[in-house]
Amino acid sequence: MGKLGWVVVHPDWRGKQIGRAVCVAALHDAHRRGLGTVILNTEDFRLAAVRLYLDLGFAPVLGDGPEQDAWWRSLRVG
């Protein structure tokens, strides 16, 4: 199992798809190494990161309650 974490882009370089490129490169490397699963952790206030992770196909582990489930669903739509 692989783990992706602490992907941070300097404010001067944000909005240039650098975070996406780093994540995609890491996921390709994990696949090349035969890792069938990649997990990550992030804080819910890092909205740009959360949206990127959702866009890359990561799915949240729900179960923190209805309010948290609704919050995740709103990000998928938003």
Which 3 state secondary structure label does DSSP give 62? Answer: coil
Q: Give the model confidence (pLDDT) of 18-77 as tens digits.
A: 999 999 999 999 999 999 999 988 887 888 888 899 899 888 776 567 777 777 777 765
In the block, tokens 């650098």 appear at 18
DSSP structure class, residue 65? -
Which 3 state secondary structure label does DSSP give 38? Answer: strand
pTM: 0.78
Domains in the chain with CATH codes: 2-77 (3.40.630.30)
Specify the pLDDT at position 42.
Answer: 83
Residue 3's CB is within 10 A of a number of other CB atoms, namely 13
Q: HSE of 67 in the Cβ direction (CA atoms, 13 Å)?
A: 1
